[in-house]
Structure 1
Amino acid sequence: MGRVLRFNKLPKRIVSLVPSQTELLCDLGLEHQVVGVTKFCVHPGHIKGQSTIVGGTKQIHLDKIRELQPDIILCNKEENTKAIVEACEAICPVHVSDIFTVDDSVELIKQYGALFDRQTKAEELTLAIRKKLDEFNRFIETHPLKKVAYFIWKNPWMVAANNTFINHLLKLNKFENIYGHLARYPCSLTQFKTQLNSINFH
């Protein structure tokens, strides 16, 4: 969104509106600083029992968030709308992640490490991810390419296409996304049926 975030002190009270980022915060040892989460934040399993549920990822309760007096609210471009981000900015600074690749994920971990003074733990996590990714790339290198379709929703049917984190991971796994020529998350059942009927899956 073209904003620069500045803090006069370490942000300690955190509201996370992104399930995967809630889990990351806990991995960084920030579990007890997470005061608000969404109803979809289910990892670790007990997090909803100790943090206030402030809504979902697309519909939030601003009054609940305001009552928590957060120092920072964490959002994501895929999960949350621009309207949500702008509404939350009236409460406190809002950090918005934008993840398309593993490198983006590693960069976010580093940002959180710096932002919440967890640099050592962040470094451990990023090194472990890099090591596992290198191992996996060697493992998958000789595997044959397979064609796949990745459906993410029904009513309406939607698929993950190009310029998405899902498509990036499919490529890493030697899967050819048959909808990779389309943009983002298209939903057209007629188009899907035509495409599927023209593909020989193995």
Structure 2
Amino acid sequence: MIYLDQLNRTISLPNPPKRIVSLVPSQTELLVDLGLRERIVGITKFCIHPKGLKKEKMIIGGTKNFYFDKIESLQPDLIIGNKEENYKEGIEKLAEKYPVWMSDIYTLEDAYRMILGIGELTDTSIKAIQISDQTRIGKRVQFQRIRHLPDLERSFNCCRNQYIYRFHVRKSRLQKSHQPVSVSRD
């Protein structure tokens, strides 16, 4: 099958991948949430979730410095990366030998498309749709809880299979008050 990644590059996978290398911590967590833990063969040193995964899988370096010899020894049939997390030269070198699917996330919709795209690649579309739908619902509920807070800027961080909302007090307000602000993430 031919797939299009978020950089509009095509990759070909004759079968669902059985040996996946993930170069992005949040996407490693997504793979596990999709039920693909056993298919992951390599991760970065920054892939610390879920707990214990680093002990099970080969560490292939960091997000910006790959150990190509270790990746070669794993014989991956899919590598998953991200435009912002990984370095272009390393990705290009890997793409010469392996199918490399790249994400490029700027908006929440991009993140939802990434979840669905990885689900399609790995033959876990039903689970990916469930995760995407749960995330959308959770985002709406969380927004309802915080919409009355005018002094806070909202930003989203894709982590695990949900969006964790991080709030930052506007710099001007923080500088004037010098009071730390804590916001519950419940």
Taking structure 2 as the reference length, the TM-score comes to 0.79
Aligned letter for 2:137? K
Residue 165 to residue 94, structure 1, CA distance change in 2 (3 Å): farther
Name the counterpart of 1:103: 109
Q: Does residue 200 of structure 1 match 2:183?
A: no
Residue 14 to residue 92, structure 1, CA distance change in 2 (3 Å): same
Contact map agreement 1:54 1:65 (CA 8 A) in 2: yes
Which residues of structure 1 form unaligned runs of 5+? Answer: 149-163, 167-171, 179-195
Structure-2 separation of matches of 1:113 and 1:147 = 31
Name the counterpart of 2:144: 138
Q: Does residue 6 of structure 1 match 2:7?
A: no
Structure-2 separation of matches of 1:177 and 1:110 = 34
Larger radius of gyration: 1
Q: Secondary structure at the match of 1:73?
A: strand
Q: Does residue 66 of structure 1 match 2:72?
A: yes
Name the counterpart of 2:21: 15
Which residues of structure 2 form unaligned runs of 5+? Answer: 1-6, 158-164, 180-186
Taking structure 1 as the reference length, the TM-score comes to 0.73
Structure-2 separation of matches of 1:140 and 1:48 = 35
Q: CA deviation at 1:102?
A: 2.0
Identity of matched residues, %? 40
Structure-2 separation of matches of 1:174 and 1:65 = 38
Q: CA deviation at 1:91?
A: 2.2
Q: C-alpha deviations, 1:69-126, integer Å up to 9, x for none?
A: 1001111112101011101112201111111222221111100111101111111111
Contact map agreement 1:66 1:91 (CA 8 A) in 2: no
Q: CA deviation at 1:147?
A: 6.7
Match runs of 1:11-90 below 5 Å: 11-90=17-96
